[in-house]
């Protein structure tokens, strides 16, 4: 409850503050639209040569694109900026102030910085998903919707935990500020179903950098291509990884405050 | 001339020292650089397989060869000046550079070349590993294509540098160039042959791409080396590279002169 | 149970207070530090490639003691100056009191809490301000940063209003609140920083170099404000500073640490008494000074003006002799400036002498 309230205040302040620079909104919209256009162009060229990519039809790939924007937008809206800020704070010593606050430090560090205009990406993601659903024609039944909702939630939890695990390394190593960029550059691979990649890359994108769980799996849930096993695995990881990340964070914090020394 | 050489040497040394400080950054950058062609390769190999093994004459092994060489050419030709120039102008770092007795472009060229040499040490092994993994078809490479590839690559480096320098100067007039950069990046992605060989583009787009300069900085040297071009096409291409380079250098000088006037008028 | 423990641990300090005050004045100390000790192990390696490679698998570490078994109490409402050169262990101690660092051993009780457990109930009652670091959000208006603190500390609306009005009034913040932090001067930023750190009306303030880098006017204003806040809210303040003026203006009591160890704890005057066995004689006279070396150590000598340092015990005799032997126009005897005394405490040759002097003043 407190978390939501704090998140809301951060969002509101970020928005109020950004409203002074409306140019940023235009710039972000332009960027997101260009990125969307590039993806659509790519899809267009691919589907001018084939009917299905690794078994995925055009609207199914559109669903992937929608999830790509949605999850990427959420991550860049709050998770990535906050965790970057956290690492910067560690480096500059400002993290001490986070620790003196009477709220959970992990929570505060995870929502501290918000890039409001990334909401544009979230909106684009929702829009593309809508178009994909309309195109798929057949109504998405409650089972698929539930599978999508569940896997999307798990996907966001997995991405957040993964990024938190990376960021927590800052407690041990000071110069890790661009470690999060790894995720961003690999996230690009999520525009396509990870099934098309060679096995070594597919495995890396599933278990090393969990982009498969963040994008392909929820999209599969939506278009009805999700197996029960994968669903169970996604949900299990979505529960387990946050716990692991939490444990790791606490270890980091203990080190930071010298409790383990 | 000797002064310039000395400048390049000094810049070379500082850049090496600087970059060695940021080994982590270098590694991350390599991941992105290598992953991108792998993504396109995976997509197009999948398309080829679904079309019975080949699409527009490209089989999986041909795509592998194409995107592997494209990786190396892209590594050799890419610049980051469009982002850096904005930073220089916004933060006022350009002013001290203008006060030096040499044109700032020399510094940039020196840094760029040094960075390329340095990253070659990670890109070449990466390309070799990918070569083992993807089994590319290099059968088209002949002595003459390999020979012609060298001037084509050098010209491609110069041409892309000149294009991106000129575009970077937009920062003199536009406050937020990120969108401009991104637009350019997307256009480049499709029109240069980076995301897809030109041959697979729809007819009119392909024709336009052949006339535009982007293809000459990436797709052209790749196809030349792989023996996908006739000697005549290769010759035409090199002439086109020289022509475009001349145009861009003239343009660059003109825009630079106007930009500097604008910059000093604002009094930054 | 808490009272029992306090009575047990603090019997010494209570005894100390009973000497001068009536029983009604006695209140349990707010801060109670016992044998607080902090040692770090830092990696150590020789220069050179071979050594750095060796250190990859066999890491040499060295124990560094940052704080060495220090003990002290701070009574409610007290303002205590924490002095020591860079690296003396001041900030480390402050961080342990604020709950940021775990000690290697020893106990700390602040308001009945163990700081490093970081219980919300404790964090809500204390604040930490570090002059060299900023906790306001750089790009947003000051008032928005405060709004965040309001939510984080769950400050009730009316209390928030009242506190903000009061702070804004005292620090003349009104014109600053709507500006983004990046547009503020260093002095303005510090004022806003302080106000932000006090919105939840903490009872204990840890101030680490609160006036660092500020000009003299801004320093004076911050000092006045801290003193004012402390009296209004009966707050307890522990502050470190490089500027003696801060300490002289604010603290009746100082704690000096050097190389992590407690060197002195007592009133500021006591510090001068203890560590400066000298007096400074400043004289104006007619003509040339001649040889003043026979009176004491000559600090300054020119025609008509001289400064001589003599041992305290010899001060009276030296004064008499000077008056008799020189055509003195004016003569004054003074304690050396506090800065000089502090320097003496910290200088290494003084360390030995200081050791004898350690004996907590009462």
Which residues in chain A have their CB less than 8 angstroms from residue B39's CB? 188-189, 191-192, 197
| A229 min Cα distance to partner chain C (Å) | 42
For residue C210, the surrounding DSSP H or E stretch is none
Euclidean distance between CA atoms C310 and C277, whole angstroms: 9
Q: Do A9 and C147 touch (CB under 8 A)?
A: yes
- pLDDT of amino acid C16: 39
Residue C360 is assigned to a structural domain of this protein: no
Q: Do C38 and C6 share a structural domain?
A: yes
Please write the tens of the pLDDT for every residue from A224-250: 888 889 999 999 999 999 999 999 999
Q: What is the dihedral of CA A200, A206, A212, A217, to 10 degrees?
A: 120
Please write the tens of the pLDDT for every residue from C196-222: 999 999 999 999 988 888 888 888 888
A178-187, B136-145, B203-212: which has the minimum mean pLDDT? Answer: A178-187
Mean pLDDT of C236-251: 85
Please write the tens of the pLDDT for every residue from C106-122: 999 999 999 999 899 99
Q: Tell me the CA distances in angstroms from B40 to A213, B196, C247, one per residue in order.
A: 21, 7, 67
Euclidean distance between CA atoms C309 and A244, whole angstroms: 67
Q: Do B46 and A54 touch (CB under 8 A)?
A: yes
Euclidean distance between CA atoms B8 and A64, whole angstroms: 48
Q: What is the dihedral of CA C206, C16, C106, A98, to 10 degrees?
A: -10
When pLDDT is cut at 50, 70 and 90, the band that residue C362 belongs to is very low
Q: Do C185 and C286 share a structural domain?
A: no
Higher pLDDT, B267 or C128: C128
Query: A77 Cβ partners below 8 Å, 6+ apart?
Result: A114, A115, A116, A118, A119, A121, A122
Placement of tokens 């070379």 in the chain: B12
Closest partner residue to A182 among B28, B134, B189, by Cβ?
B28
Rounded to whole angstroms, the maximal C-alpha distance in chain A is 62
Could you tell me if C102 lies within 8 Å of chain A, comparing CB atoms?
yes
When pLDDT is cut at 50, 70 and 90, the band that residue B25 belongs to is low
Residue C72 is assigned to a structural domain of this protein: yes
Residue C353 is assigned to a structural domain of this protein: no
- pLDDT of amino acid B222: 96
DSSP 8-state code for residue C100? S
B near C: at least 3 beta-carbon pairs less than 8 Å apart: no
DSSP E strands in C23-143: the ranges are: 31-44, 60-74, 79-83, 105-110, 126-130
Euclidean distance between CA atoms C256 and C355, whole angstroms: 12
| C69 min Cα distance to partner chain A (Å) | 17
Closest CA to A238 of A179, A152, A174, A170: A152
Which residues in chain A have their CB less than 8 angstroms from residue B43's CB? 42, 46, 53, 192, 196
Q: What is the ipTM of this complex?
A: 0.86
- pLDDT of amino acid C319: 85
Could you tell me if A175 lies within 8 Å of chain C, comparing CB atoms?
no
Q: Domain total for chain C?
A: 2
| A166 min Cα distance to partner chain B (Å) | 13
**Which residue in B has a C-alpha nearest to residue A178's C-alpha?**
B25
Could you tell me if C141 lies within 8 Å of chain A, comparing CB atoms?
yes
Could you tell me if A108 lies within 8 Å of chain C, comparing CB atoms?
yes
A60, A136 contact by CB (below 8 A): yes
Domain that holds residue C113: 2-272
When pLDDT is cut at 50, 70 and 90, the band that residue C59 belongs to is low
pLDDT of C356 above 50: no
B near A: at least 3 beta-carbon pairs less than 8 Å apart: yes
Q: Do C268 and C142 share a structural domain?
A: yes
- pLDDT of amino acid B1: 65
Which residues in chain A have their CB less than 8 angstroms from residue B47's CB? 46, 49-50, 53
Which residues in chain A have their CB less than 8 angstroms from residue C121's CB? 102
Both tokens assigned to C189:
């930023």
Please write the tens of the pLDDT for every residue from C140-194: 889 888 988 888 898 999 999 999 999 998 888 899 998 888 888 888 888 899 9
Please write the tens of the pLDDT for every residue from A118-172: 999 999 999 999 999 888 877 677 888 899 999 999 999 999 999 999 999 999 8
Placement of tokens 């995107």 in the chain: B67
| A197 min Cα distance to partner chain B (Å) | 5
Euclidean distance between CA atoms C261 and C270, whole angstroms: 18
Euclidean distance between CA atoms A110 and A84, whole angstroms: 9
DSSP 8-state code for residue C104? S
Closest partner residue to A97 among C102, C135, C151, by Cβ?
C135
**Number of Cβ pairs closer than 8 Å across A and C?**
71
Mean pLDDT of A196-217: 91
pLDDT of C22 above 50: no
Could you tell me if C244 lies within 8 Å of chain A, comparing CB atoms?
no
Mean pLDDT of B235-248: 96
For residue A22, the surrounding DSSP H or E stretch is helix A22-49
Euclidean distance between CA atoms B164 and B142, whole angstroms: 32
Residue C122 is assigned to a structural domain of this protein: yes
Mean pLDDT of C64-88: 89
Q: What percent of chain C shows pLDDT beyond 90?
A: 28
Please write the tens of the pLDDT for every residue from B193-218: 999 999 999 889 999 999 999 999 99
Both tokens assigned to C127:
């604040």
Mean pLDDT of C46-66: 69
Q: Do C7 and C59 share a structural domain?
A: yes
Closest partner residue to C100 among A6, A17, A99, by Cβ?
A99
- pLDDT of amino acid A164: 95
Residue C349 is assigned to a structural domain of this protein: no
- pLDDT of amino acid C25: 47
Q: Do C148 and A16 touch (CB under 8 A)?
A: no
Radius of gyration of chain A (CA): 19
Euclidean distance between CA atoms B8 and C66, whole angstroms: 48
Query: A226 Cβ partners below 8 Å, 6+ apart?
Result: A147, A151, A217, A220
Q: Do B32 and A185 touch (CB under 8 A)?
A: yes
Domain that holds residue B108: 2-266
Residue C32 is assigned to a structural domain of this protein: yes
Q: Which residues pair with B254 in a beta bridge?
A: none
Closest CA to A147 of A206, A226, A241, A56: A226
Euclidean distance between CA atoms C30 and B167, whole angstroms: 65
Closest CA to C197 of C219, C231, C157, C225: C225
| Chain B residues with a Cβ under 8 Å from any Cβ in chain A | 24-25, 28, 31-32, 35-36, 38-39, 42-43, 45-47, 50-51, 55-56, 133-134, 175-176, 178-179, 182-183, 186, 189-190, 195-196, 200-202
Could you tell me if C189 lies within 8 Å of chain A, comparing CB atoms?
no
- pLDDT of amino acid B19: 67
Q: How many other C-beta atoms can be found within 10 angstroms of the C-beta atom of residue C223?
A: 21
The residue count for chain A: 261
- pLDDT of amino acid C27: 67
Q: Do C310 and C237 share a structural domain?
A: no
Which residues in chain B have their CB less than 8 angstroms from residue A178's CB? 24-25, 28
Q: Domain total for chain B?
A: 1
C86, C50 contact by CB (below 8 A): no
CATH number, domain at C135? 3.40.50.300
pLDDT of C15 above 80: no
Q: What percent of chain B shows pLDDT beyond 90?
A: 48
DSSP 8-state code for residue C110? E
Higher pLDDT, C237 or C211: C237
Residue C141 is assigned to a structural domain of this protein: yes
Euclidean distance between CA atoms A143 and B237, whole angstroms: 57
Mean pLDDT of C303-310: 85
For residue C240, the surrounding DSSP H or E stretch is strand C236-240
Higher pLDDT, B89 or C347: B89
**Which residue in C has a C-alpha nearest to residue A254's C-alpha?**
C102
Q: Do C256 and C163 share a structural domain?
A: yes
Chains touching chain A, criterion 3+ CB pairs below 8 Å: B, C
Which residues in chain A have their CB less than 8 angstroms from residue B195's CB? 42
3-state secondary structure chain B: CHHHHHHHHHHHHHHHHHHHHCHHHHHHHHHHHHHHHHHHHHHHHHHHHHCCCEECCEEHHHHHHHHHHHHHHHHHHCCCHHHHHHHHHHHCCHHHHHHCCCCHHHHHHHHHHHHHHHHHHHHHHHHHHHHHHHCCCCCCCCHHHHHHHHHHHHHHHHHHHHHHHHHHHHHHCCCCCHHHHHHHHHHHHHHCCCCCCHHHCCHHHHHHHHHCCHHHHCHHHHHHHCCCCCHHHHHHHHHHHHHHHHHHHHHHHHHHHHHHHHHHHHCC
Euclidean distance between CA atoms B178 and C259, whole angstroms: 52
Q: Do C329 and C204 share a structural domain?
A: no
Q: What percent of chain C shows pLDDT beyond 70?
A: 83
Q: Do C282 and C216 share a structural domain?
A: no
C106 backbone dihedrals φ, ψ, rounded to 5°: 105, 170
- pLDDT of amino acid C145: 87
């Amino acid at each position: 409850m407190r978390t939501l309230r704090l998140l809301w205040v951060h969002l509101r302040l970020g928005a109020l503050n950004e409203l002074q620079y409306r140019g940023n909104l235009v710039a972000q919209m332009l960027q997101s639209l260009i990125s969307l256009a590039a993806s659509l162009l790519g899809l267009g060229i691919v589907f001018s040569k084939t009917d299905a990519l690794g078994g995925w039809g055009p609207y199914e790939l559109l669903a992937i694109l929608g999830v790509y924007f949605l999850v990427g937008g959420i991550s860049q809206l709050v998770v990535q900026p906050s965790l970057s800020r956290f690492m910067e704070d560690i480096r500059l010593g400002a993290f001490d102030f986070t620790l003196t606050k009477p709220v959970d430090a992990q929570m505060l560090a995870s929502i501290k910085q918000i890039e409001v205009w990334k909401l544009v990406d979230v909106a684009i993601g929702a829009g593309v998903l809508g178009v994909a659903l309309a195109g798929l024609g057949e109504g998405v039944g409650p089972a698929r919707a539930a599978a999508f909702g569940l896997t999307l939630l798990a996907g966001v939890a997995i991405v957040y935990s993964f990024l938190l695990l990376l960021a927590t390394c800052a407690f041990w190593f000071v110069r890790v500020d661009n470690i999060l960029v790894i995720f961003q550059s690999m996230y690009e691979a999520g525009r396509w179903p990870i099934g098309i990649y060679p096995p070594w890359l597919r495995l890396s994108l599933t278990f090393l950098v969990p982009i498969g769980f963040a994008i392909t799996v929820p999209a599969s849930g939506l278009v009805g291509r999700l197996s029960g096993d994968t669903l169970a695995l996604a949900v299990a990881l979505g529960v387990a990884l946050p716990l692991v990340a939490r444990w790791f964070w606490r270890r980091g914090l203990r080190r930071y405050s010298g409790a383990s020394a | 001339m000797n002064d310039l050489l000395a400048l390049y040497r000094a810049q070379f040394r500082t850049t090496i020292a600087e970059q060695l400080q940021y080994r982590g950054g270098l590694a991350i950058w390599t991941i992105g650089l290598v992953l991108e062609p792998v993504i396109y390769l995976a997509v197009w190999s999948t398309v080829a397989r679904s079309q019975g093994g080949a699409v527009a004459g490209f089989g999986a092994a041909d795509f592998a060869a194409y995107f592997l060489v494209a990786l190396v050419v892209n590594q050799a030709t890419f610049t980051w000046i469009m982002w850096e120039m904005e930073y220089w102008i916004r933060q006022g770092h350009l002013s001290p550079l203008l006060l030096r007795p040499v044109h700032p472009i020399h510094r940039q060229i020196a840094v760029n070349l040094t960075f390329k040499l340095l990253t070659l040490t990670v890109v070449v092994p990466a390309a070799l590993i990918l070569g083992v993994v993807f089994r590319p078809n290099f059968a088209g490479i002949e002595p003459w294509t390999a020979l012609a590839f060298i001037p084509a690559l050098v010209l491609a480096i110069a041409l892309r540098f000149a294009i991106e320098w000129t575009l970077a100067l937009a920062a003199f007039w536009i406050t937020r160039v990120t969108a401009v950069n991104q637009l350019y990046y997307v256009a480049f992605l499709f029109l240069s042959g980076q995301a897809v060989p030109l041959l697979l583009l729809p007819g009119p787009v392909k024709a336009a791409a052949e006339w535009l300069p982007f293809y000459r900085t990436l797709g052209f040297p790749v196809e030349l080396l792989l023996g996908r071009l006739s000697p005549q096409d290769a010759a035409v291409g090199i002439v086109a590279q020289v022509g475009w380079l001349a145009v861009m250098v003239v343009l660059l000088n003109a825009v630079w002169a106007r930009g500097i006037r604008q910059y000093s008028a604002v009094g930054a | 149970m808490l009272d029992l423990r306090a009575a047990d641990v603090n019997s010494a300090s209570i005894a100390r207070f009973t000497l001068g005050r009536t029983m009604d004045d006695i209140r349990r100390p707010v801060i109670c530090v016992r044998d607080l000790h902090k040692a770090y192990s830092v990696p150590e390696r020789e220069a050179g490639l071979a050594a750095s490679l060796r250190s990859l698998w066999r890491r040499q570490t060295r124990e560094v003691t940052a704080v060495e078994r220090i003990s002290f109490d701070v009574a409610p409402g007290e303002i205590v100056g924490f002095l020591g050169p860079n690296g003396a262990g001041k900030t480390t101690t402050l961080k342990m009191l604020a709950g940021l660092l775990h000690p290697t051993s020893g106990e700390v009780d602040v308001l009945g809490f163990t700081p490093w457990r970081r219980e919300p109930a404790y964090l809500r009652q204390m604040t930490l301000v570090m002059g060299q670091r900023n906790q306001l959000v750089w790009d947003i208006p000051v008032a928005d940063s405060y709004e965040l603190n309001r939510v984080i500390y769950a400050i009730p609306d009316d209390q928030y209003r009242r506190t903000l009005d009061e702070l804004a009034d005292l620090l003349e913040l009104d014109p600053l609140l709507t500006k983004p932090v990046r547009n503020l001067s260093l002095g303005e930023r510090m004022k806003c920083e302080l106000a932000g750190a006090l919105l939840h009306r903490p009872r204990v303030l840890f101030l680490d170099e609160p006036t660092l880098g500020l000009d003299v006017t801004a320093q004076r204003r911050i000092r006045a404000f801290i003193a004012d806040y402390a009296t209004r809210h009966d707050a307890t303040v522990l502050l470190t500073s490089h500027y003696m003026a801060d300490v002289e203006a604010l603290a009746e009591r100082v704690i000096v640490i050097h190389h992590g160890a407690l060197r002195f704890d007592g009133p500021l005057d006591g510090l001068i008494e203890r560590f400066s066995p000298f007096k400074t004689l400043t004289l104006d006279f007619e003509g040339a000074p001649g040889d003043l070396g026979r009176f004491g150590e000559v600090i300054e000598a020119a025609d008509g003006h001289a400064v001589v340092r003599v041992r305290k015990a010899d001060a009276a005799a030296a004064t008499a002799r000077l008056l008799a032997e020189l055509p003195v126009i004016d003569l004054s005897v003074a304690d050396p400036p506090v800065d000089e005394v502090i320097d003496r405490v910290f200088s290494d040759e003084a360390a030995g002498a200081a050791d004898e002097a350690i004996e907590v003043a009462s």
